[in-house]
């Protein structure tokens, strides 16, 4: 009987030690299933000497200079400045915007850095930097239709980039309920659709609209109408839990303080939209 109680006592002591952290074999966490696990990626990125940046072509954020055929733009120069501080090369890889999270999580790219609107849904699945630029959605129409579509989209053929904030607006705002919506591959495609007459209205970023339509641009026949849609904020997306995000945030703060971000923004006519000072 004494032996029986001794075994019970020993068992209880083992349970108690385990509960207090006394076990010599601590439990491990399966990072594949733990979405909040920290991803130690910064050291590997610095060792590799590069950061692969997923982007799409949006003027004035990322676009090819017509004279030099060099990739330029606010986001391009901003990314290069951050990477220089980080000690790595900025490698730009064009992606399908609708597949951006797939590209990120499959490690085809290290981050999404291309005027990406911060949303609660994206914050659930990705690690996003501090907001650095303000944006909002505007409509693009032919000049002669500006007054018409300022009032109503009834019966209009509307286009927006698939997976974009513009698409979210069209699908969620009641003012587009009577319109006919078609998703397109990019915001640049949306502009072409309106210019060619295959669409009446394009919904794109304010940051793109100013330098893409009107006098002196390739779309002199188009204008943008700012209907005062809710402001958005841009952020840089890394994989959920990545330790790269905090380091990039530190560098953004440094580049804001020394005036680098302000100078790049001024160059591309975006000074009024910068959120980091």
Strand partners, 52: 91
| Cα dihedral 129, 237, 62, 91 in deg (nearest 10) | 110
Per the domain annotation, does 254 fall within a domain? yes
> DSSP letter at 192?
H
**Are both 64 and 104 inside the same structural domain?**
yes
| Strands, sheet with 157-161, edge to edge from the N-terminal-most edge strand | 180-184, 157-161, 201-205, 137-142, 222-225
Per the domain annotation, does 20 fall within a domain? no
**Are both 95 and 163 inside the same structural domain?**
no
**Euclidean distance between CA atoms 259 and 217, whole angstroms:** 29
Q: Tell me how many domains the chain contains.
A: 2
**Are both 47 and 171 inside the same structural domain?**
no
- Which run of H or E residues covers position 91? strand 89-94
Tell me the whole-structure pTM to 2 decimals: 0.80
Contacts of 85 (CB under 8 A, 6+ apart): 251, 254, 255
pLDDT of residue 92: 98
**Are both 52 and 98 inside the same structural domain?**
yes
- For residue 212, the tally of other CB atoms under 10 A from its CB is 22
pLDDT of residue 211: 84
pLDDT of residue 202: 98
Token pair 């004279």: residue: 67
Domain CATH code at residue 192? 3.40.190.10
- Digit-by-digit pLDDT tens for the chain (277 residues) are 433 334 434 444 443 333 333 333 333 333 333 444 578 999 999 999 999 999 999 999 999 998 999 999 999 999 999 999 999 999 999 999 999 999 999 999 999 999 999 999 999 999 999 999 999 999 999 999 999 999 899 999 999 999 999 999 999 999 999 999 999 999 999 999 999 999 999 999 999 998 899 998 999 999 999 999 999 999 999 999 999 999 999 999 999 999 999 999 999 999 999 999 8
**Are both 65 and 104 inside the same structural domain?**
yes
Range of the domain at 171: 137-225
**Are both 127 and 145 inside the same structural domain?**
no
pLDDT of residue 277: 87
**Euclidean distance between CA atoms 100 and 184, whole angstroms:** 15
pLDDT of residue 70: 97
> With 0-12 CB in 10 A as exposed, 13-18 as middle and 19+ as buried, what is 173?
middle
Token pair 């019970």: residue: 8
- Print burial letters for 109-133: b (CB count within 10 Å at least 16), e (below 16): bbbbbbbbbbeeebeeebbbbbbbb
**Are both 75 and 103 inside the same structural domain?**
yes
Structure tokens at 111: 């981050």
């Amino acid at each position: 009987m004494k032996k029986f109680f001794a075994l019970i006592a020993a068992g209880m002591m083992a349970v108690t030690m385990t509960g207090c952290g006394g076990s010599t074999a601590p439990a491990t966490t399966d990072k594949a299933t733990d979405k909040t696990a920290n991803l130690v990626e910064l050291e590997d990125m610095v060792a590799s000497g590069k950061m692969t940046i997923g982007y799409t072509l949006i003027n004035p954020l990322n676009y090819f200079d017509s004279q030099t055929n060099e990739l330029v733009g606010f986001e391009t120069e901003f990314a290069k400045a951050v990477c220089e501080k980080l000690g790595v090369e900025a490698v730009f890889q064009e992606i399908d915007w609708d597949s951006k999270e797939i590209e990120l999580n499959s490690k085809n790219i290290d981050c999404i850095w291309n005027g990406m609107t911060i949303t609660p849904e994206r914050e659930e699945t990705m690690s996003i930097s501090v907001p650095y630029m303000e944006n909002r959605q505007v409509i693009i129409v032919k000049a002669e239709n500006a007054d018409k579509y300022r009032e109503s989209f009834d019966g209009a053929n509307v286009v927006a980039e698939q997976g974009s904030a513009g698409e979210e607006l069209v699908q969620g705002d009641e003012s587009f309920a009577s319109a006919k919506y078609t998703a397109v591959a990019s915001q640049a495609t949306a502009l072409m659709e309106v210019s060619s007459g295959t669409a009446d209205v394009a919904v794109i970023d304010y940051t793109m609209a100013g330098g893409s339509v009107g006098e002196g641009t390739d779309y002199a026949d188009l204008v943008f109408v700012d209907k005062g849609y809710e402001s958005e904020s841009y952020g840089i997306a890394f994989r959920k839990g990545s330790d790269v995000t905090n380091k990039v945030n530190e560098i953004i703060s440094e580049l804001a303080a020394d005036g680098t971000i302000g100078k790049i923004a001024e160059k591309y006519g975006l000074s009024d939209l910068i959120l980091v000072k």
